[in-house]
Structure 1
Amino acid sequence: MSLDSISLEAIRKELLDKFKDEKITNIIQTKKYKIIMEVKPNNFLVLNGINKKRDTFYIHISIDPSSMEIYFSESKNTEETISSPFLNLLQNHLIGGKILDIKQPDFDRILHFIIQPYLKFGQTQNQILIIEFMGKHGNMILLKENTMIEGSIKLVDSNINRYREILPGKFYISPPSQNKLNPLNVNRKDFFNIFYSLKDKSLNLWKLIQNNFIGISLQNAKEMVLQANLSLEKDVSNASQADLEMLWTSFNRIINNIKNHIFQPTIFLDPLSEKIKAYSLINSIQFPPCHKRNFKDANSCLESLFTELEKEREILSIQNKLDQILSKNMLKINNKINDYQKKLEEVKNCEKYKINGELIKANLASIKRGDTEIKVINYYSPRQEDITIPLNHKLTALENARLYFKKYKKTKDSWEIILEQLNNNQLKLAQLAEFHKLYKQYSNSLPNLLKIYNDLMKLGLSKKIIVPLKKQEKKKNKLLPAKYISQDGWEIYVGKNNHQNDFLTFKLASGNDIWLHPKNIQGAHVIIKNRGNKQSPPLETLIQAANLAAYFSKAKKENKVLVDYTLKKYVKKPKNAKPGMAIYSQEKSLLIKINLPEIKNMISQNSQGKILSP
């Protein structure tokens, strides 16, 4: 979702209205191509005759091709900061300065911040901070008023671009002209001349608009065609004069709204995933009318857009890391298990070596040095059959017996070691499978993904430690139990792993809450919250909670499940027990036939059936 010229014009006007003559108090850098300017007004806001300090704002600017953004926010930065030569340059020249003007030359994807520096030693030239939102060619450039470059976030020498070097000491040259018209200056005659002079009549109407006017994105070009009641498939060759008149009317109306700063900021959401599908600052009819969010101004829209997209990117990044860690380690452990199982097959006949040794000892008189084998009766076999035992011809009979006893001991020791390693790796695999289940369960929850990731780090499964981009997420970095509301209005909490169970039973629950758990089966701890210490929950609530306990257990596929319940005060945690371990008394039991449709309906219909803070 790139920034087009319409978005830049809208945010330019709002930035200028908000920050003209205001003071830049700090500049930080949070990513390779992102800076944040702190702007604090010099004057005070007078309320009821009292001077009050006005709020500090933060202007976010990024030219990263994957996340170009510009908006302002009252929220203080929570991202990790970095340093760079360009940041040092901005801090030295712009901190303390005033924003005099913000311009958008020729309606292009470029903004010029005109800044009057803090006057330390008398009059100095104004500084111009140029932001070029040009995809992979984007840049941030600091100029003197005479257009001499002082520095840039990307240095471009003649090896990269002979026409346009971006280096300190060089004079700034604007990006090459696209030979397009500025739509803000186009009249009816100019508009129709484009169609009349066109040689390639096979172009779609929206493509023609996009190709001939600066700053009109594909989405907005299509919008102009649709608002003219024309098909997106219509090309120039079959467009009538009436069609062109309607297209001019649509084009002119939208451009006039931009000139007059009349916008309708909207974010459109995917109806299934509720993720952002598109945004528009002009009235849009190309997206379904439902699943959208309207905003009072362009900045509110862009702030919401960019912060949510950043969160989606962060979630995707962690998902990819978790996929890589889990698949790599599960494959590695599976291979180890297969190897240990093969080795067990190889050493499982260790008793054979002991029998060979015993039979040689029983036949010492029949063996001479130099013999390579001996045929004897196997007294240890029920069939008493003859067997042939290989011998080392260089050894005596007794030495051969000792050699077999030594092999027996070594093989037996190997068996025990291999069996221990096999069991350990099977436990590790089960643990990773549990993490994989959690990962899939909470795949769209940033705090929970971070918790899973960092728990994997503690197990030594990766050397890289992820640092949450948002510091405030650290406080939320727990896997919280799910919360449901019964049909009688009682709160039901469900823990879906050992850590949640531990937190739910021994931190969240109170003594008179009802605690439920499948009898003698691994599964969820369930709590019916008894707010107000009522006598007992209704039977239907108890059955619903027992259904959830049975469903979130190893017995979920069974026809019937026995679920114990008791007051939480009768549930204890054994000393040094693992998370989720509990012993209980004074219990009663319910035999539950799992009502799958009701459970799924409860989960999907209950608006609180999500990971929520209690």
Structure 2
Amino acid sequence: MIINSTLVFCIIPELEEAFKGNKIFQVFQSPDKKELIFVTRSRKKEASLFFCAHAEDYRIEILDEGKWRTKKSNYQKTNLFSYAVGGHIQEIKQVDFDRVIKISCLRKSQVGKSIEFDLIFELTGRNANLILVRKDGLIIDSLRKVDITQSRFRQILPGEKYVAPPSPKKKNPFEAEKERFLKLLENRNISVSELLTSHFIGLDQFLAEKIIFETNIHPSTKAKDLNNDTVEYLWKNFNQVFQDIAEHRLSFQIVTDEAGKPDAISCVDLPFLKENQKIFCESLSFAIKKFFSQKLEEQQKRIALKRLSEATHRALRRLEKRKDKIEEDLEEAEKFEQYKKFGDLLMINKNSIKKGEGSVKLVDIFEPQQSLVDISLNVELSPIQNAQAYFKKYKKAKDALAVMKKRKAETEKEILQVEKISEELEGANKELELEKIRKELVDLGFLKDKMIPVKRKEISKDFSPRTFVTKEGSQILVGRNNKENDYLTFKFARPSDLWFHAQDIPGSHVVLRKKDKKREPSPNDIKEAAQVAAYFSKARGAKKVPVIYTLAKYVKKPKKGKPGLALVEKEKSILVEPKLIDRLDNGK
């Protein structure tokens, strides 16, 4: 539960400042019917209220103009809640310290009569809803309709009497009394953290840990194990936290996990967390907006990563299947010499073979043993025609053999490329990295261009190879993927730079940029660059790896070659130990 009762309490003043006194001008709805935007204005201000009723992402936000314009392009005006258009916002309040916000409005009818109504925002998880209610309590409209088959307790339909959601069974922490709090802790065989979160509404795990941390006890400490002084101190800290919240002495922050992914929103500082796990925000509305924006990005990345993984697995299955088929065909094609032999034997023995025979046994005069060989015949052909058919099969198989060997080599290369992409995916967690991998799969023909919904960026603008510096100050650049290898080798490298690659082994392209253009790289520079090339190859685990190197101008892109492929001339070879040098250039 991201939006709890305490956060609802804290956002009320922000909603009042943004919307109180404003007039509702327009209502827009998302295509999936689960999101609404209320555009409001007054003489002094304009603000848009966003409401989301998605089961996991339910929330209320104050939209800034930029975000409103972005959303507006995907939303449509709706007649839903048209009754509210023209209403002036009079009051905004939380209902019974629950996750319910009531916005009371007043508008004039066509005959000048005052009409009062309430917009009730229920931020209750999968049951999140927005209900428009007359002052007499009758429902005018709602975002989600609930009939008797869905709930016997409360029906949410036009004309029905509005019934509030069931009251929370937990206690309101603002109404806690010392005596009852102390009694709550007596002889309870559960942790203090669990006791606090299970007993008080709006008190989540992080608020509980703050109170416990400031009391200087461990979160797993059982309530029954606390002495009287500690219990008194715990009450004091509990009371102080909620007094600060009540008086709006707040510090809004997004809590992230160890990987930097958004985990929760807090309205107070959490001193027990590392600083890099806290993102401080100027307001709660901004924290909510940023939290769900980051959460959406993470969801999109997970979707993209899943689809890319599926695409690489499909590609590998296709390639392995293609390779198996080529090997079967190769096995058949490699019999081409036998077809020629059969043709020659049939020509030599044509006068002794009768038309209409299904097979014939002939002495193999081409073998030292001169054993009998069984040759299948087409009964509709003459002996000479059968010989000619075998000669034709011989020529066809011989021609096909070279093609199939080439196809097999190309397929094996593609398998290595896709395996490398699969390895890259394991460590990819940034949008740009996923986009580069997506482009590689598109270029290889294993993914449709518009399949993955990730923002596109030009590689020339976002070129970010791994960068190292040799002992003598020369720069070593390492491509992170096939697309970047191409850019590094064929666009970025100068003709006089040295290019390195593990010999006959899949790996990254590596470029050694001379510190001084007029001087040749030292043997040590060449050795260090070769070690890096060996390290960023499939042979990383070997003791020694052969690495080729040449001037970048002697590395060419094959015609219609896939990303990462290169033709190398005038290369030299060096045997080195795979090694990652620890001198990074500018932290890259």
Q: TM-score range by the shorter chain?
A: 0.7 to 0.9
CA contact (8 A) 1:37 1:59 kept: yes
Tell me the residue number matched to 2:152: 162
Q: Does 1:339 align with 2:325?
A: yes
Query: Quick one: distance in 2 between partners of 1:492 and 1:551?
Result: 13
Tell me the residue number matched to 1:42: 43
CA contact (8 A) 1:516 1:549 kept: no
Query: Quick one: distance in 2 between partners of 1:193 and 1:355?
Result: 102
Name the SS of the counterpart of 1:332 in structure 2.
Answer: helix
- Cα drift, residue 109 of structure 1: 1.7
> Counterpart amino acid of 1:130?
I
Map Cα deviations across residues 416-460 of structure 1 (whole Å, 9 max, x no partner): 77556645544543443343344345x111133134335535665
Query: Quick one: distance in 2 between partners of 1:493 and 1:93?
Result: 64
Q: 1:331 to 1:27 in 2, by over 3 A?
A: farther
Indicate the larger mover: 23-32 or 536-545.
536-545
Alignment of 1:451-466 (within 5 A): 451-453=436-438, 456-457=441-442, 461-462=446-447, 465-466=450-451
Tell me the residue number matched to 1:500: 484
Tell me the residue number matched to 1:50: none
Counterpart of 1:248 (choices 235, 253, 260) is 235
Map Cα deviations across residues 263-318 of structure 1 (whole Å, 9 max, x no partner): 233444444x3434554322435535664344444344334333222222221111
Tell me the residue number matched to 1:366: 352
Gaps of 5+ in 2: none
> Counterpart amino acid of 1:596?
K
Q: 1:406 to 1:490 in 2, by over 3 A?
A: closer
Indicate the larger mover: 485-494 or 122-131.
485-494
Q: 1:344 to 1:562 in 2, by over 3 A?
A: closer
Gaps of 5+ in 1: 44-53, 610-614
- Cα drift, residue 493 of structure 1: 5.4
Alignment of 1:169-568 (within 5 A): 169-192=159-182, 201-235=188-222, 237-238=224-225, 241-271=228-258, 273-288=259-274, 291-368=277-354, 373-390=359-376, 397-398=383-384, 400-401=386-387, 404-405=390-391, 408=394, 422=408, 425-441=411-427, 443-453=428-438, 456-457=441-442, 461-462=446-447, 465-466=450-451, 468=453, 473-475=455-457, 480-482=463-465, 484=467, 486=469, 494-501=478-485, 503-504=487-488, 515-518=497-500, 523-524=508-509, 526=511, 552=536, 561=547, 563-564=549-550
Map Cα deviations across residues 45-104 of structure 1 (whole Å, 9 max, x no partner): xxxxxxxxx7x66655433233344444547234696457xx614574556655443321
Tell me the residue number matched to 2:14: 14
Q: Percent identity?
A: 27
Query: Quick one: distance in 1 between partners of 2:358 and 2:453?
Result: 70
Name the SS of the counterpart of 1:102 in structure 2.
Answer: strand
Q: 1:126 to 1:152 in 2, by over 3 A?
A: same
Equivalent pairs counted in the alignment come to 577
Query: Quick one: distance in 2 between partners of 1:305 and 1:551?
Result: 39
Query: Quick one: distance in 1 between partners of 2:16 and 2:514?
Result: 53
Name the SS of the counterpart of 2:323 in structure 1.
Answer: helix
Query: Quick one: distance in 2 between partners of 1:538 and 1:374?
Result: 71
Query: Quick one: distance in 2 between partners of 1:283 and 1:399?
Result: 93
Map Cα deviations across residues 119-143 of structure 1 (whole Å, 9 max, x no partner): 8874553553333222222223333
RMSD: 4.7
Tell me the residue number matched to 2:95: 105
CA contact (8 A) 1:519 1:564 kept: no
Query: Quick one: distance in 2 between partners of 1:348 and 1:584?
Result: 31
Return the TM-score normalized by structure 1: 0.75
Indicate the larger mover: 443-452 or 424-433.
424-433
Q: 1:539 to 1:423 in 2, by over 3 A?
A: closer
Query: Quick one: distance in 1 between partners of 2:409 and 2:351?
Result: 45
CA contact (8 A) 2:210 2:271 kept: yes
Indicate the larger mover: 105-114 or 60-69.
60-69
Query: Quick one: distance in 2 between partners of 1:535 and 1:368?
Result: 81
- Cα drift, residue 254 of structure 1: 1.6
- Cα drift, residue 259 of structure 1: 0.7
> Counterpart amino acid of 1:172?
Y
Query: Quick one: distance in 1 between partners of 2:306 and 2:141?
Result: 36
